Amino acid sequence: MIGVIGAPGLRGTGPDADVAGLAAAIAVAAAGAGSRVEFIGKTGDDPAGDAVLLALAHHHVGHVATLRDPARPTPVIGAADEPVDIDATDAPPPAAPSTEAGPVLEAADVGLALRYLPELAVIVAVHVRPEVVEEAVAASGWAKTALIVVVAPDATAPEGLPTSAIVVAVVDDDDLEGGAGAAIGRYAAAIDQGDPAAEAYADLVATGTAT
């Protein structure tokens, strides 16, 4: 099983609406590659949040560890072609209709979720704060999972990572079928399924910087 930690959002409205954000793209790609995936995140307790959960389920991504926040709205992205970094949970997405920040995923929430997902083989932490990364590192130690940490291109690798961790620096890319998110998801699935990961890793390096 793969646990993807990040901030989901919604792109569009109505029947064409779909989940958005780099973390979501990774989760969708990993599920599409045949892995069981659980999304660890937080949405608003609003219709957009309902739509996010329905979209995740449509893509066969589990959301038992996706919390609801009644105080902050789910980021909704318009029909713009350019990717929008909705994974930055401490600031609102530029194209969102509200100036309020989206739901903030707390480290304690992540730690609890990871303890309730004992079958994890891979943890992917996507554009999250250092204290959330610390929870992912701790879980990867006691659960003996692989760890992938995704950071922004101008960010440095978080401190305290195990030597086996993979750090990938990419811009936000919520293309659900291609791009960096899909490459990371396929790589995570290869690790999860015990398949040869060399080709998936080459694909990953071609779309970002992996160390």
pLDDT at position 86: 45
pLDDT, tens digit, 9 for 90 and up, residues 44-100 = 999 999 999 999 999 999 999 999 999 899 988 864 434 444 444 444 433 433 334
Contact of 21 with 174, CB cutoff 8 Å: yes
CATH number at residue 68: 3.40.1190.20
Domain count, the chain: 1
- For residues 18 and 199, what is the distance between their CA atoms, to the nearest angstrom? 29
Domain that residue 134 falls in: 2-210
pLDDT, tens digit, 9 for 90 and up, residues 157-185 = 888 899 889 898 887 665 556 678 888 99
pLDDT at position 89: 45
| CA Rg value for the chain | 15
Tokens 């999304």: give the residue.
39
pLDDT, tens digit, 9 for 90 and up, residues 19-32 = 988 999 999 999 99
| Closest among 188, 5, 36, 2 to 112, alpha carbons compared | 5
Contact of 39 with 161, CB cutoff 8 Å: no
pLDDT at position 49: 92
